[in-house]
Amino acid sequence: MSYGLSSVDFQRLSGFGVIERVQRMHHWHFFIWCMSMSRPTSPIKLSASQNAIIQAFVKCREATHSLVQRAQIILGLSQGNTNIAVAKEFGLSDETVGVWRKRWVDGSSDLEEIEKKEIKEIPLQKKSSNC
């Protein structure tokens, strides 16, 4: 590659290491471009009951911050947002959002089976909680 330079200029600049730096810079830009390309992600689909439960977690004042945050992540992803968009919205890293997307997708088949079996609820002791 001569980068539009005459052979004399190319040799002169090559002697100072300029061409090598430009070539490294091109490799670096290519690397950045490759890293910015996102991988396809698994879609998050919530049933009506799952959506209602997660909405309740988000609104619950007595739930831990981490539980509310996870519920917000899943709701954001279920609306078709990307990991990066959800991460920006809640001030998280996209890796954290990706972890919770993966965990939800991995466990969603078990949730679907439980919902299909229509397991009767076991009566729990009622707390004074609004959640």
**31 and 76 assigned to the same domain:** no
Using a cut of 0.85, tell me whether the model's pTM lies above it: no
**Residue 41 to residues 15, 101, 129: CA-CA distances in angstroms?**
47, 9, 36
Of 35, 16, 48, the residue nearest 112 (C-alpha): 48
Structural domain including 81 reads: 48-117
**111 and 55 assigned to the same domain:** yes
Q: What is the per-residue pLDDT across 54-97, written as a single tens digit (0 to 9) for each?
A: 999 999 999 999 999 999 999 999 999 999 999 999 999 999 99
Which residue in the block uniquely carries the two structure tokens 């002791």?
Answer: 125
CB atoms under 10 Å from CB of 44, counted, come to 20
Query: Looking at per-residue confidence, does 112 or 86 come out higher?
Result: 86
**72 and 109 assigned to the same domain:** yes
Query: Is 14 within a domain?
Result: yes
**70 and 111 assigned to the same domain:** yes
**53 and 29 assigned to the same domain:** no
**104 and 64 assigned to the same domain:** yes
Alpha carbon 93 to chain centroid, angstroms: 8
Query: Looking at per-residue confidence, does 45 or 10 come out higher?
Result: 45
Alpha carbon 20 to chain centroid, angstroms: 36
**65 and 110 assigned to the same domain:** yes
